[in-house]
Amino acid sequence: MFMLPKTNRLIFVATLAIGGLLSGCSGGEERAESPKQEQCETLLGAENVEAAVKATGGSDVEVSGTPQADVLADRLAREAKRWQKSDLLHTPYTACRMSAFEGDRIIGTIDVSVKWSVLSMRMMDTPQISRTWRRVNDSLFLAPEASPARMQLLAVCAVPGAIASQPSDLPLQFEVAAKDLRTELRWDLLSTFARSVVEAMDCTQPPVIPSALPAAA
């Protein structure tokens, strides 16, 4: 059997090792799955996230945002306790942003967010607002297509420690924005997300959020 001299064998092994490292680096150019996707699944439901990603048609997905429900709840509760009627600016919190890629090109984005709304419950009966928002129950209003790509949910949540008018004057506003999703899937994401956040909040009377898309929508 032919044997390389000891020096040549060492050079040969080193060459193979370097080649393996280079090969590993080139393979690393592929986009790795985001570790935050599991947090999205916790907030929005694993089946819903899978269906949403599939609907975008991308070959891979990057995920950002996604604080846990209890983190969102804590931030929202602290904001509500500081709120006064003169405060009109509220912080929007991105819970989950999923960007679908085809190669290096973004072909679809799904944004899920929550904030305290500038709308109040008494505004829901005005002609201008009622054209967009539909009553689901006493604590819930739905804007099924605020634009061709958005669905919004307004929910009453009385936060202990906030001023007395907070439940009616400062409702929660949840939103899903994604042009590639059918209405029913947007609702599945929106309602699951809203329930995840509301369950983590200490609402005096939690809003009733149905799992099925309300018939009025």
- Per-residue model confidence as pLDDT tens for the chain (217 residues): 444 444 443 443 344 333 433 333 333 344 445 567 888 999 999 999 999 988 988 668 888 887 889 999 999 999 999 999 899 889 999 999 998 888 888 888 999 999 999 999 999 989 989 888 999 999 999 997 766 689 999 999 999 999 999 999 999 999 999 988 999 999 999 999 999 999 999 899 899 999 999 876 5
pLDDT, position 216: 60
Tell me the CA distances in angstroms from 38 to 1, 50, 105, 106, one per residue in order.
Answer: 54, 11, 23, 21
The structure's pTM equals 0.81
Which stretches does DSSP call E strand in 103-149? Answer: 105-116, 134-137, 140-147
Give the SS3 label for residue 198: helix
pLDDT, position 19: 41
